[in-house]
Each structure stands twice: as structure tokens, then as C-alpha cells.
Chains A and B, each alone.
Chain A
Amino acid sequence: KNQVEQSPQSLIILEGKNCTLQCNYTVSPFSNLRWYKQDTGRGPVSLTIMTFSENTKSNGRYTATLDADTKQSSLHITASQLSDSASYICVVSAKNYGQNFVFGPGTRLSVLP
């Protein structure tokens, strides 16, 4: 069964610190992996996308990595800001017709001053 797991479930850090969120997946056949940021009360917004051949992708202070062999991805946030407080969702796309987007449960990040 196609599945995406994320850890930790929640995380609290101080402003200015770095953090890393983890994503493990068992989606096949793999097409791409995205990280989305979801602010409270809003819809998810795409941060990064990586295909099978990419192992690092940056978007400002966000850096995503992908290890397609171990089926793991991470999202590293550098020099966190209060506005980084949100849920971060890992989404893996499969090459199947229909259920093409498999969502992880998300990691809830709280950045405190």
C-alpha cells in the first residue's frame, strides 16, 4: 500500500535555530516528492519538488533532500523565523492513474521567540 510517514509529529524550537523534518515513503512507482507548508487555517502551499534524479533542492532557508534508494526525504529549515510556524506536509506522487498524490500526516512546527 502506498504510504507516507513523517517524523516528528510535532516540534518546538527557538527562533533562529535550525531544524530537520523527516519523511519516509513506500510509494511506487515513484514520480516526484514535494514538501508543502500549511499555515493554520489555510491550504497547503508547495515549497519544493524533487524528481528521482535530484537529491537536493533549496528554496531560500528551506533545503529538501531525497534519497530514492532508502525512500527517505528531509526538509531542513535554517535560521528559523516565527513565520515558519506551520505544518509541513510531505507529498509523494505516483505514476498511477487516479490516486496520484499520497500525503503524509504532517509535522507541526512551532517557532518560539
Chain B
Amino acid sequence: NAGVTQTPKFQVLKTGQSMTLQCAQDMNHEYMSWYRQDPGMGLRLIHYSVGAGITDQGEVPNGYNVSRSTTEDFPLRLLSAAPSQTSVYFCASSLDISGANVLTFGAGSRLTVL
């Protein structure tokens, strides 16, 4: 039981490049989400999904796209990277969106945009 797996762990991009951060969970969780963590700030929600085929925007969605074709996978796409997207990205999943269940986090992906 691997939990939440994120790849890559580190990535350096040039401004304007695109890339996809991968996230997979093996706990059959309905709810999956992407957060970014910046120094001195709490984790901020980028996008979330409550099941396959259903996604919605969070607090800071601009510049990011997501899709949820299967229960297990929830990739985050950066369409045209900007230096402001330099951050640590965490994928998290939970049984459902209710907030009553614990969020399980991946180990994080550190992205630097030059």
C-alpha cells in the first residue's frame, strides 16, 4: 500500500515551458487535490476532484490544469511556466470531500522556474 505517490520530486523549468506533475493513490479515495506551499504561507488549494471525470478550481487555479480520468490518477499540468510558479507542490487525497477524514499527502514535488 504505497499511499500517495508524486513524481518528479524535483524539476527545473525555463519560463514558458510546460510540464505535468504526476499524482497517484492506491487507497480508492474519491477526493484528490493539489496544493502549493510557499514560505511563510499555508498550503493553498489549486484544484481538486471528487471523483473520476469531476474537477473544480481551488483558491489559486490560474496557470494550472487538471484532469481525472481514473480514480487513481490526478495529474497537474503547467501550461506555460512562470517564475511565480516556483513552489513545492503537494498532492493529497481523502476518502471524500466532507473534511471528516484525514488528508493523506504525497512527499511533494519541488519546482523551480527560471
Show the binding face of A for B, using Cβ within 8 Å. 4, 9, 31-32, 34, 41-46, 49, 89, 91, 93-95, 97-106
Contact = CB atoms under 8 A, between A and B. Distances in A.
Contacts of B74: none
A56 to B, nearest CB: 19
Contacts of A102: 42
Given A42-B107, A102-B42, 12 more contacts: A41-B108, A43-B107, A43-B108, A44-B90, A44-B103, A93-B100, A94-B99, A99-B58, A100-B98, A103-B42, A103-B43, A105-B40
Contacts of B34: none
A74 B42 CA distance: 17
Contacts of B90: 43-44
A97 B40 CA distance: 26
Given A4-B42, A43-B4, A43-B90, A101 B105 contact: no
Given A95-B99, A99-B59, A101-B99, A45 B105 contact: yes
Contact of A100 (B42, B97, B108): B97
Interface of B: 4, 35, 40-45, 48, 56, 58-59, 90, 92, 97-100, 102-103, 105-108
Contacts, number: 59
Contact of A98 (B41, B44, B56, B106): B56
A36 to B, nearest CB: 8
Given A41-B108, A43-B106, A99-B58, A32 B100 contact: yes
B108 A42 contact: yes
12 contacts: A34-B102, A41-B108, A43-B90, A43-B105, A46-B102, A91-B103, A93-B100, A95-B99, A99-B45, A102-B42, A103-B42, A104-B42
B41 A105 contact: yes
Sorted from nearest, which 6 A-B pairs have the closest CB atoms?
Answer: A43-B105, A93-B99, A103-B42, A100-B99, A103-B43, A46-B102
B42 A89 contact: yes
